[in-house]
Amino acid sequence: MSFLHIAIIAPFLFALIIPFFYKKISSVHTGWFVLVLPTVLFVYLLTFIPTIADGEVVTHLLSWVPSLGINFNIHLDGLALLFALLITGIGVLVVLYSVFYLDKDKESLHNFYFYLMMFMGAMLGVVLSGNLMVLYVFWELTSLSSALLIGYWYERKKSRYGALKSMLITVSGGFAMLAGFSLLYVMTGTFTITEIIAQVDVVTSSSLFIPTMLLVLFGAFTKSAQFPFHIWLPDAMEAPTPVSAYLHSATMVKAGIYLVARLSPVFSGSSEWFWLVSGFGLFTLLWGSFNAVRQTDLKSILAYSTISQLGMIMSMLGVGSAAAFYGYKAGFTAATVAAVFHLINHSTFKGSLFMVAGIVDHETGTRDIRKLGGLMTFMPITFTISIIGAFSMAGVYPFNGFLSKEMFLESMLHATDITSFNMQSLGVLFPVIAWVASVFTFVYSMILVFKTFRGNYQPEELEKKPHEAPVGMLIPPIILASLVVLFGFFPNILSHTIIEPAVKAIYPVSLTGVEHFDIHIKAWHGFNFPPLYMTISIIAVGVLMYLTLTKWQKIYAFLRLHKKDPINYFYDGIVNRIAPIAKKITKVPETGLLRDYLAYMYVFFIVLVGYTLFHFGGFAIDTNNVAEIPIYAWVLVAIIALSAILVPFITNRVIAIIATSFVGFLVALLFVMFRAPDLALTQLLVETVTTALFLLCFYHLPELRKEKTKPVFKWTNLFISIGVGALVTTMALSSLALGNKKPFESIADYFLKNSHDLGGGDNVVNVILVDFRGMDTMFEILVLGIAGLGIVSLIKLKMNGKEDL
Amino acid sequence: MEILIAVLIGVLFSVATYLLLTKSLLRVVLGTVLLSHGAHLLILTMGGLGLGSAPLLGEEASKYSDPLPQALILTAIVISFGMTALLLVLTYRTYKAHQTDDLDQLRGRLDE
């Protein structure tokens, strides 16, 4: 147990006392108390920067379930530190923002902060775990807390829909990931990430390599909202805005990115990984940016923008994975550097933009851009922040998004340099898609700012008179926006402290001997630099498209994209139809009729036992050792069989009883024949009492009717019953034959020898019943007693307070 | 002899199964009675029907029939008697409560 373990567990423990703050100190907004913890954690994590920048990895071991290889190990390297700093840092800002965003009197804050702290702890656990199983546990906790936060306003139908959707999608991905992790364990015998990376040869040569990769990627793609699993993210916007800013832009949706980056050393170098990661990433980038333009809700624009940007980071990780194929030579690693850098940038500008959207919503009462407009004069600070955020997102100089966008374009251009994976022919698509998606990114970024803050002011559409937000609400986005500018002008303050260790973690440096990545991010590369011209053309085309927006926006209606994302039709179809279909399928076998269920049982009995008997050659008839049949036995057996067969055909109830009893009395005769006097006696007595009982009951029961069943059922029943009888006979004969083939000494001799001396009786059957095996008899008496009590209570039972029936 | 009894057991099982698959509750109870006869005979037959003397030591015979299956069947007879009695009263009660002994009508509502 180290301080880092405590850092992960602390939010969970802290969550437990939040309701106490809320109930006992209700005069102060609970958020102020909560603010302490992320701040402490952030400062604590900052102290690791020098250690990690020196290339060290902080590990702490803690046994949890050592017998299963599941240990709560901490593995803090550059990648983990980057994420941990994002989680805690943005966590501080989000908590501060939420203090002003959520009303202390109207909202159930204890729920909100409980879930938020739970999420923070879970997310820290995901990024700091060195063990895949522990990572999975925390991964599911993030899914759970995210669903709880999306459904925070649970009285709204849309919130519940969004929460359910995100839960279903991310948890199904989580399960797939669990299967992938289990396969990794099967291959390597360990859940520890570093040990798996050390056995990368075992994994890549295994036949399970592709399934494992697919399962792990399924988990990562669902979490990081990659196409076609992105549909939960726009619906997750029903969450309070601080949650959207925190979970659904900066942290949780990057868990999939983290997983891909973390397991890159295991999987990268194969063409499948390259194509899946970069292919899905690029398509998500294009799809997200294309769909963001048609949105009219500020948060929906931001949601699709997040999807798009996550796709962009994913594609860069995919292209970067080619480096593994070339032995981690410099030049191919640039894409990964760009991915890490853009990951940081995206968290800063997207966080600030969400907070801006929240402010606009908070101060005007709507997020619909068709109602908004002309807010610039009312909210100058918010406007400035959103300008910075949106221009950074669009990739305009001098903000940090410009730098990472250029690095992205450059790495996509260099993707054509990759000479493997069919990239000579298909590689040209990469920069084309990147360019098109960047144009759309530029357009929606402009929509976001200018439709909200410029244009016509429509006071009649707004619920409130807009004014600038309170200072506390502005501080967090101001800090994020300043970071956008700061990283824009001085990108290299991060390169050695944060980015380089993170890139090192993605590339297994220890394997290749490369000690140092020379990361130097600069804004100006000279005129002989193709991405510069791409950026210029993006801005030029983007401006043109923004100005002609109304003219070409009809394309969405033409493509039938104007209502909802088409993938939603699949999701809604599955979710809405699965219950009726399951009901229909269940209705087929579950008829509610006893005889149907009996028929299933008999059919299964016949099929299973019959198959086993004949498949393993168990059937045999052995006529040796068989007693002779006296002539009267023939007669007796024939009479029993005949009277039994008659029973179903009798329609007179008394005759049916008599026929059944007749069988019973004749069975007693058989017992006499087989030298079983006690049996014969009991059988006679029991049969007499049973017959009397039947007659008593039948007096109160209706006449037997002729069975009115369809011939189909009749024949099926006949077939089944003959099958059962034949099978029982076959089994009996086979077991007799088996008994002759492999005879075992019966224990009867023991009873016969010792009955007199040990049991003190000559009637061996009775001695067995009360002496050798007295326990059977005791419980048999108990059975009779219980049956008697049951009968009494059934007869005496009064139903519905009425008189006895 | 054993083969003959085995066939008889088969007949008893067939008839019992057929009765269990019918609609009338009374026939179902009769089916269980016949089924228990079949099962008792099966136990006895599987012990072997080498016809010795009854397992009474006073007989002083050279060969006795196997006492253990007899003890088992005796237990089984009593238990099946208890079950039959309970089942009969249950049938009576069901008929009183629902005014039918038709198993097709004795079923849960479709909307349950």
Within this chain, do residues A229 and A314 fall inside the same structural domain, yes or no? no
Taking the Cβ of residue B61 and every Cβ of chain A, the question of whether any pair is shorter than 8 Å is answered with no
Closest by Cα among A401, A364, A384 to A478: A384
Specify if A685 maps to a domain. no
- Cβ proximity of A307 and A248 under 8 Å: no
The pLDDT tens digits for A711-755 are 677 888 899 999 999 999 999 988 888 877 777 778 888 898 888
- Residue from B7, B9, B13 whose CB has the most chain A CBs within 10 Å, to mutate: B13
Asked if A9 and A144 sit in the same domain, the reply is yes
Residue A692 in contact with partner chain B when CB distance is under 8 A: no
Domain of A152 in residue numbering reads as: 1-264
Q: How far is A800 from chain B (nearest CA, A)?
A: 11
Measured between alpha carbons, how far is A28 from A105 in angstroms, rounded to an integer?
A: 10
Count of other CB atoms within 10 angstroms of residue B32? 17
This complex has an ipTM of 0.93
Return the residue of B nearest to A766 by Cα. Answer: B71
Question: Is the model's pLDDT at A401 over the cut of 90?
Answer: no
- Please report which confidence band the pLDDT of residue B63 belongs to, taking 50, 70 and 90 as the band edges: confident
Choosing from A525, A541, A566, the residue where a domain stops is A566
Rounded to whole angstroms, the Cα distance separating B21 from A720 reads 9
Is A215 found in the same domain as A333? no
How many CB atoms are closer than 10 A to CB A272? 14
pLDDT at residue A266 in the model = 87
Are A260 and A408 within one domain?
A: no
Q: Is residue A26 part of a domain?
A: yes
Is residue A569's pLDDT more than 60?
A: yes
Task: Tell me, yes or no, whether A159 lies in a domain.
Answer: yes
Name the domain boundary from A240, A264, A288: A264
Size of interface A-B (CB pairs under 8 A): 278
Of A526, A548, A566, the position where a domain reaches its end is A566
Is A184 a domain residue? yes
Highest mean pLDDT among A326-340, A410-424, A670-684: A670-684
**pLDDT at position A623 over 80:** no
pLDDT tens digit sequence for B84-93? 999 988 888 8
Residues A232 and A346 occupy one common structural domain = no
- Interchain pair A644, B15: CB under 8 A: yes
Same domain for A97 and A120, yes or no, is yes
Confidence of residue B95 (pLDDT cuts 50, 70, 90): confident
Q: Is A698 on the interface with B (CB under 8 A)?
A: yes
Listed range (A343-352, A560-569, B70-79) with the worst mean pLDDT: A560-569
pLDDT at A53: 82
Write down the pLDDT at residue A447: 87
Pairwise pLDDT comparison (B13 vs A545), residue with the higher score = B13
Nearest to B33 among A626, A660, A707 (CB): A660
The half-sphere exposure of A250 on its side-chain side, counting CA atoms within 13 A, is 33
How far is the alpha carbon of B93 from chain A, nearest alpha carbon, in Å?
7
User: A795 vs B89: CB contact, 8 Å cut-off?
Assistant: yes
Q: What is the pLDDT of residue B112?
A: 46
How far is the C-alpha of B56 from the C-alpha of A787, rounded, in Å?
32
pLDDT of A626 higher than 90: no
- Decide if A602 touches B, using CB distance below 8 A: yes
Q: Is the CB of A718 inside 8 Å of chain B's CB atoms?
A: yes
Put simply, the answer to whether A795 touches B10 (Cβ < 8 Å) is: no
Q: Per-residue pLDDT tens for A71-112?
A: 898 998 889 999 999 999 999 999 999 988 888 788 888 888
Strand spans (E) along A476-605: none
Q: How far is B28 from chain A (nearest CA, A)?
A: 10
- Cβ neighbours of A784 in B, within 8 Å: 78-79, 81-82
> Does pLDDT of A805 surpass 50?
no
Q: Are A12 and A138 in contact (CB under 8 A)?
A: no
Mean pLDDT of the A531-560 span = 81
Cis peptide before A630 (omega within 30 of 0): no
Give mean pLDDT, residues A356-379: 84
Dump pLDDT digits (tens) for A692-720. 888 887 777 766 666 666 667 788 889 99
CATH class of the domain defined by B2-49+65-98: mainly alpha
Chain A contacts in chain B segment 12-51 (CB below 8 A): 12-24, 26-27, 30, 33-34, 37-38, 40-42, 44-51
Mean pLDDT of A562-590: 85
The nearest CA of chain A is from the CA of B60 a distance in Å of 10
Q: Tell me the per-residue pLDDT of B14-61, one tens digit each, with 9 for 90 and over.
A: 999 999 998 888 889 999 999 999 999 999 988 777 667 888 887 777
Please check whether residue B88 touches A, CB under 8 A.
yes
Chain B residues with CB inside 8 Å of A689's CB?
A: 81
How far apart CA A240 and CA A444 sit, in angstroms, is: 22
The predicted structure's pLDDT at residue A270: 83
Torsion (CA) A552, A554, A558, A561 in degrees, nearest 10: 100
Q: In the prediction, which pLDDT does A694 show? A: 85
A124 within a domain of the structure (yes/no): yes
Whether A730 is in a domain gets the answer no
Mean pLDDT of chain A: 86
| Residue B60 near chain A (CB below 8 Å) | no
Instruction: State the best of A666, A765, A803 to mutate against chain B, taking most chain B CBs within 10 Å.
Output: A765
Q: Which helix (H) or strand (E) holds A74?
A: strand A74-76
Q: Is residue A549 part of a domain?
A: yes
Better pLDDT: A425 or A636:
A636
Co-location of A197 and A335 in the same domain: no
Cβ <8 Å between A689 and B13: no
Query: Would the pLDDT of A575 be above 90?
Result: no
The answer to whether B66 and A748 are in contact (CB under 8 A) is: yes
Put simply, whether B84 touches A (Cβ < 8 Å) is yes
State the total domains in chain A.
3
Three-state secondary-structure class, residue A297: strand
Structure tokens at A671: 């017992």
| Res A516: pLDDT | 58
DSSP single-letter state for residue A589: T
> Does residue B98 belong to the interface with chain A, where contact is any CB pair within 8 Å?
no
Task: Compute the C-alpha angle A425/A427/A431, nearest 5°.
Answer: 140
Claim to verify: residue A424 and residue A554 sit in the same structural domain: yes
pLDDT, average across residues A646-655 = 85
- Residues of A in Cβ contact (< 8 Å) with B56: 677, 762-764
Structure tokens given for A182: 């289990």
Interface of A with B in 644-673 (CB under 8 A): 644-645, 647-648, 653, 656-657, 660, 663-664, 667, 670-671
Rounded-to-integer distance, Cα A76 and Cα A99, Å: 31
Task: Provide the shortest C-alpha distance from residue B35 to chain A (in Å).
Answer: 11
- Average pLDDT taken over every residue of chain B: 86
pTM of the predicted model as reported, rounded to 2 decimal places: 0.82
Instruction: For residue B6, count other CB atoms closer than 10 A to its CB.
Output: 24
Do A516 and A542 share a structural domain?
yes
Say how many C-beta atoms besides its own lie within 10 A of residue A574's C-beta: 11
Residue A514 contacts residue A91 (beta carbons within 8 Å): no
For residues A155 and A239, membership in a common domain is answered with yes
A675 contacts chain B (CB < 8 A) = yes
Closest in A678, A725, A787 to B85, CB measured: A787
Interface test with B, best of A602, A609, A626, A674 (most B CBs within 10 A): A674
- Closest Cβ–Cβ partner in B1, B11, B24 for A645: B11
Tell me which chain B residues have a C-beta less than 8 angstroms from the C-beta of A704: 24, 26-27
CB contact under 8 A, A704 and B23: no
Q: Of A55-64, A283-292, A404-413, B60-69, where does the model show the most confidence? A: A283-292
The percentage of chain A sitting over the pLDDT mark of 70, rounded to a whole number, equals: 92
Are both A9 and A157 inside the same structural domain? Answer: yes
Among B9, B17, B88, beta carbon nearest to A602: B17
Per-residue pLDDT band for A418 (boundaries 50, 70, 90) equals confident
Segment among A51-55, A331-335, A430-434 with least mean pLDDT: A331-335
pLDDT in tens, A39-68: 999 999 999 888 888 878 888 888 888 888
Domain ranges for chain B: 2-49+65-98
Q: Is A75 helix (H, G, I), strand (E, B) or coil?
A: strand
Which residue has better confidence, A352 or A26?
Answer: A352
What residues of chain A lie within 8 A of the CB of B37, using their CB? 663-664, 667
Average pLDDT estimate for A646-668 = 88
Q: Does A791 touch chain B (CB under 8 A)?
A: yes
User: Could you check whether the bond before residue A38 is cis, i.e. omega within 30 degrees of 0?
Assistant: no
**Which residues on B lie below 8 Å from A606 (Cβ)?**
none
What is the number of H-type helices and E-type strands within chain A?
A: 37, 4
Closest residue in B to A755 (Cα–Cα)? B57
The pLDDT of residue A799 is 62
Q: How many CB atoms lie under 10 A from the CB of residue A526? A: 6
What is the C-alpha to C-alpha distance for residues A145 and A130, in angstroms, rounded to an integer? Answer: 22
In a domain? residue A146: yes
Residues A239 and A360 in one domain: no
Is A259 within 8 Å of A216 (Cβ atoms)?
Answer: yes
pLDDT digits (tens, 9 = 90+) for A236-264: 898 899 999 998 888 889 999 999 999 98
Q: Give A104-146 pLDDT, tens digit per residue.
A: 788 888 888 999 999 999 999 999 998 999 999 999 999 999 9
Q: What span, in angstroms and rounded, lies between the C-alpha atoms of A95 and A122?
A: 16
> Residue A793 above 80 pLDDT?
yes
